[in-house]
A and B are shown apart, each in its own frame.
Chain A
Amino acid sequence: MFTKFITRLAFLFLLIDSSFAKTVGIIQIIEHPALDATRQGIIDRLKKTDPTLKIVWRSAQGTLATSVQLAQKFVGQKVDAIVALGTTSAQAATKVAQGTTIPVVFASVTDPKSAGLVGLAAGVSNFVDVDQQLSSIQRILPNLTRLGIIYSPGEANSEKLIKLTQEYCKNKGIELVCSVAMKPMDVMMATKKLAGTVDAIFINNDNTALAAFPTIVKIADETRTPVFASDADLIKSGAVSVLGPDQYEIGVQTADVLTEILKTALGSRVLLVEYPKSVDLYFNKDKAAALGLSIDPSLTYKDLS
Chain B
Amino acid sequence: MNILQVTGAVELGLIYSLVALGVYLSFKILQFPDLTVDGSFPLGAAVSVSLISVGVNPIWATLAAFAAGGLAGFVTAILSTKFKVTDLIAGIITMTALYSINIRIMGGKSNVSIMDKQTVISQLKLFFQLLFDSYALSAMLIVFVGLIVLSCYYFLSSQYGLAIRATGNNARMARANGISDGRMIQVGLAASNGLVALAGSLFGQESAFSDVNLGIGTIVAGLAAVILGETILPSKRLIYQILACVLGAIVYRFIIAFALNADDLGLEPTDLNLITAIILASAMIFSRYKKGLSQ
Binding site for B on A (CB under 8 A): 31, 56-66, 68-70, 72-73, 75-78, 87-88, 91-92, 94-96, 114-117, 120, 153-156, 158-159, 182
Task: Report A52 CB to chain B, min CB distance, Å.
Answer: 18
Contact of B211 among A57, A58, A75, A156 (CB under 8 A): A156
Interface residues of B in 24-61 (CB under 8 A from A): none
Nearest residue, chain A, Cβ from B211: A88
Contact of A115 among B2, B100, B209, B214 (CB under 8 A): B209
Residue numbers in A under 8 Å from B209 (CB-CB): 88, 91, 95, 115-116
Per-residue CB contact flags for chain B residues 233-255 toward chain A (1 = under 8 Å, else 0) read 00000000000000000000100
- Besides A73-B1, A73-B5, A153-B110, 8 other CB < 8 A contacts? A58-B269, A65-B221, A76-B2, A91-B211, A95-B115, A116-B115, A154-B110, A182-B99
B146 located at the interface, meaning its Cβ lies under 8 Å from any Cβ of chain A in the complex:
no
Give the CA-CA distance A161 to B273 in the complex, in Å: 32
Per-residue CB contact flags for chain B residues 207-225 toward chain A (1 = under 8 Å, else 0) read 1110111101100010000
Contact of A61 among B1, B99, B112, B272 (CB under 8 A): B272
Residue numbers in B under 8 Å from A91 (CB-CB): 111, 113, 115, 207-209, 211
Nearest residue, chain A, Cβ from B260: A73
B16 located at the interface, meaning its Cβ lies under 8 Å from any Cβ of chain A in the complex:
yes
B293 located at the interface, meaning its Cβ lies under 8 Å from any Cβ of chain A in the complex:
no
Q: Is the CB of A72 within 8 A of B4?
A: yes
Contact of B110 among A63, A92, A155 (CB under 8 A): A155
Task: Report A153 CB to chain B, min CB distance, Å.
Answer: 6
Given A68-B8, A156-B109: A116 and B116 interface contact (C-beta under 8 Å) = yes
Give the CA-CA distance A56 to B12 in the complex, in Å: 23
Residue numbers in A under 8 Å from B109 (CB-CB): 114, 156, 159
10 nearest A-B residue pairs (beta carbon)? A76-B4, A116-B113, A76-B2, A72-B8, A116-B115, A156-B111, A91-B209, A58-B269, A154-B212, A63-B217
Residue numbers in B under 8 Å from A68 (CB-CB): 8, 12, 207
Binding site for A on B (CB under 8 A): 1-5, 8-9, 12, 16, 99-100, 103, 108-116, 203, 206-209, 211-214, 216-217, 221, 253, 256-257, 260-261, 263, 269-270, 272-273
Residue numbers in B under 8 Å from A75 (CB-CB): 4
Give the CA-CA distance A64 to B4 in the complex, in Å: 18
Given A76-B5, A114-B111, A154-B110: A69 and B253 interface contact (C-beta under 8 Å) = yes
Given A68-B207, A154-B212: A120 and B115 interface contact (C-beta under 8 Å) = yes
Nearest residue, chain A, Cβ from B16: A65
Give the CA-CA distance A78 to B3 in the complex, in Å: 11
Residue numbers in A under 8 Å from B263 (CB-CB): 56
Residue numbers in B under 8 Å from A156 (CB-CB): 109-111, 211
Nearest residue, chain B, Cβ from A26: B269
Task: Report B1 CB to chain A, min CB distance, Å.
Answer: 8
Q: Is the CB of B270 within 8 A of A59?
A: yes
Give the CA-CA distance A114 to B269 in the complex, in Å: 30
Q: Is the CB of A73 within 8 A of B2?
A: yes
Q: Is the CB of A69 within 8 A of B8?
A: yes
Give the CA-CA distance A156 to B269 in the complex, in Å: 25
Given A73-B260, A76-B5, A154-B99: A59 and B269 interface contact (C-beta under 8 Å) = yes
Q: Is the CB of A88 within 8 A of B272?
A: no
Q: Is the CB of B113 within 8 A of A76?
A: no
What are 8 A-B residue pairs whose CB atoms fall within 8 Å in the complex?
A56-B263, A64-B214, A70-B260, A72-B4, A73-B4, A76-B1, A91-B208, A159-B108
Residue numbers in B under 8 Å from A87 (CB-CB): 111, 211
Residue numbers in A under 8 Å from B269 (CB-CB): 57-59
Give the CA-CA distance A159 to B111 in the complex, in Å: 10
